[in-house]
Amino acid sequence: MQRKQHLFIPGPTPVPPEVAAAMTQPVIGHRSSEYASLQRYLVQQVKKVFQTENDLFILTSSGTGAMEAAITNCVNPGDKVLALITGQFGKRFAEIAEQCGAKVERLEFPWGKPVDLEAVKATLDSGPLPQAVLVTHNETSTGVVNNVQGLGALLKDTPALLLVDAVSSMGAMDIRTDEWGVDFMVTGSQKAFMMPPGLAFLSVSPKGWEAVANVTPRSFYFDLAAWRKNGVKGFAPWTPNVSLLFGLKKALELMLGEGLDSVWSRHKRWAQGVRAGLRGMGLEPVAEDPWASHTVTAAFVPEGKADTLRALVKQQFGLCLAGGKGKLDGKVLRFSHMGYVDELEILGALAVLELGLRQLGQKVQLGRGVAQAQAVFAQGVRNHG
Ligand SMILES: Cc1ncc(COP(=O)(O)O)c(C=O)c1O
């Protein structure tokens, strides 16, 4: 039998059996009244996770598609865009804007650190305001969370738009789209929503729509005016992935049935436990506690052994961890604690890592990391992080 892949990568994440089963229902016509009810219902439910009253669209694409949809609909070629970069995914957002013809100013921060709001303020004060500011809420390459609330406050009452990539955090963290003033909020299905890849969610504020009205959309598929016109009727402009939508209904039932507060605090506890566990075996997280992600932890592996360790635990135990990206290539492993995962699985993954490190000749006291993680799980959520 092929070895099971135990997914501890930051997406795709494990899919609950109920969600997988829901996707086997017979497909229904996407112009039927049953479909319209389903789409309307799903939009309302996803809005609860986004904490938004804004328009929200369920796109048939991965998260990158929704990032591109946001930019192509609110930025004209030649417009100035400020990209705040704290890692690989911030870079990607900037690249999308550049490819769409924007004049991109990059404000880069050291990897492992969050966006420095003072630096952003100084940049905004020093020149003409950008049409849009791009930021990654949860930088998956470093495990850092950025202060979107603070950015929203800086941009409030200015014409500049705030575009946020929350692909690896929405659904796992308390993200207040409207309260924080986010004009375009983006996420994907294969992370905290416990779904397979293939859907992206995008919300658009009234200020965002004003910008859309002044832009000639450069994407036919992602022309948001078409999505809005069809959305009023409960439809998507093009054929949606109905099977994934059945799964999404079940996934949202699980998330909202548990209660978002519980989902968020569970992720925070897991993050704290994993960080304690990794430290217990000598693997220091890249991000410091105050800005640590609740969904993914990147940790340094000594002596350039990160990729060897990942290969070893995958081959021996089927434990799938992600590697470093960009500047952190070969230096870190990334351990996801997001979505459909529980303490037993996390402790098992930590135990396997200890065994792997031991095999690679690292001095590891077996069980120490596991015990430190368990101590955190037993305590509940600490107040920081
Ligand atoms: C923060 C962030 N942004 C964007 C993406 C890209 O999303 P997708 O692979 O769904 O296109 C990812 C994927 O890991 C991500 O973590």
Give the position, in ligand 1's atom list, of the atom nearest the Cα of 197: 10
Under 8 Å between Cβ of 158 and 108: no
Ligand 1 center from residue 375 Cα (angstroms): 32
Under 8 Å between Cβ of 155 and 162: yes
Q: Give residue 255's Cα distance to chain centre.
A: 16
Ligand 1 center from residue 194 Cα (angstroms): 14
Distances (CA, A) of 22 to 198, 202, 359: 16, 23, 42
Q: How many CB atoms lie within 10 A of CB 338?
A: 30
Under 8 Å between Cβ of 278 and 285: yes
Give the position, in ligand 1's atom list, of the atom nearest the Cα of 64: 11
Ligand 1 center from residue 211 Cα (angstroms): 25
In angstroms, the CA 97 to CA 92 distance is 9
In angstroms, the CA 178 to CA 181 distance is 5
Give the position, in ligand 1's atom list, of the atom nearest the Cα of 139: 1
Residue to mutate, 13, 64, 137, ligand 1, most ligand atoms under 8 Å from C-beta: 64
Report DSSP state, residue 303.
Answer: G
Per-residue pLDDT of the chain (385 residues; tens, 9 = 90+): 888 999 999 999 999 999 999 999 999 999 999 999 999 999 999 999 999 999 999 999 999 999 999 999 999 999 999 999 999 999 999 999 999 999 999 999 999 999 999 999 999 999 899 999 999 999 999 999 999 999 999 999 999 999 999 999 999 999 999 999 999 999 999 999 999 999 999 999 999 999 999 998 889 999 999 999 999 999 999 999 999 999 999 999 999 999 999 999 999 999 999 999 999 999 999 999 999 999 999 999 998 999 999 999 999 999 999 999 999 999 999 999 999 999 999 999 999 999 999 999 999 999 999 999 999 999 876 544 4
Ligand 1 center from residue 61 Cα (angstroms): 11
Under 8 Å between Cβ of 11 and 192: no
Ligand 1 center from residue 114 Cα (angstroms): 18
Rg for the chain, CA atoms, rounded: 21
Under 8 Å between Cβ of 198 and 241: yes
Ligand 1 center from residue 33 Cα (angstroms): 33
Give the position, in ligand 1's atom list, of the atom nearest the Cα of 296: 16
Amino acid in the structure at residue 119: A
Residue linked to tokens 């905290």 = 192
Give the position, in ligand 1's atom list, of the atom nearest the Cα of 141: 16
Residue to mutate, 89, 190, 295, 328, ligand 1, most ligand atoms under 8 Å from C-beta: 89
The residues facing 374 across adjacent strands are: none
Give the position, in ligand 1's atom list, of the atom nearest the Cα of 10: 14
In angstroms, the CA 230 to CA 379 distance is 49
Atom 8 of ligand 1: nearest residue by CA position = 63
Residue to mutate, 13, 145, 167, ligand 1, most ligand atoms under 8 Å from C-beta: 167
Q: How many CB atoms lie within 10 A of CB 234?
A: 19
The burial class, CB within 10 Å (0-12 / 13-18 / 19+), for 262 is: exposed
User: SS3 of 205, please?
Assistant: coil
pLDDT at 1: 82
In angstroms, the CA 129 to CA 170 distance is 28
Q: Which residues line ligand 1 (CB under 6 A)?
A: 10-11, 62-64, 89, 136, 138, 140, 165, 167-168, 188
In angstroms, the CA 136 to CA 144 distance is 9
Ligand 1 center from residue 367 Cα (angstroms): 33
Under 8 Å between Cβ of 364 and 277: no
pLDDT at 217: 80
Which pair of structure tokens corresponds to residue 50?
């986004």
Give the position, in ligand 1's atom list, of the atom nearest the Cα of 138: 1
Give the position, in ligand 1's atom list, of the atom nearest the Cα of 62: 10
Ligand 1 center from residue 136 Cα (angstroms): 10
Report DSSP state, residue 2.
Answer: P
Which pair of structure tokens corresponds to residue 59?
């796109």
Domains present along the chain, CATH in parentheses: 17-256 (3.40.640.10), 259-379 (3.90.1150.10)
Q: Give residue 80's Cα distance to chain centre.
A: 25
In angstroms, the CA 240 to CA 318 distance is 33
Under 8 Å between Cβ of 81 and 103: yes
In angstroms, the CA 251 to CA 19 distance is 6
Cβ neighbors of 213 (< 8 A, separation 6 or more) are none
pLDDT at 63: 98
Residue to mutate, 84, 86, 138, 168, ligand 1, most ligand atoms under 8 Å from C-beta: 168
In 189-271 the beta strands, taken as DSSP E runs, fall at 200-204
In angstroms, the CA 116 to CA 86 distance is 10
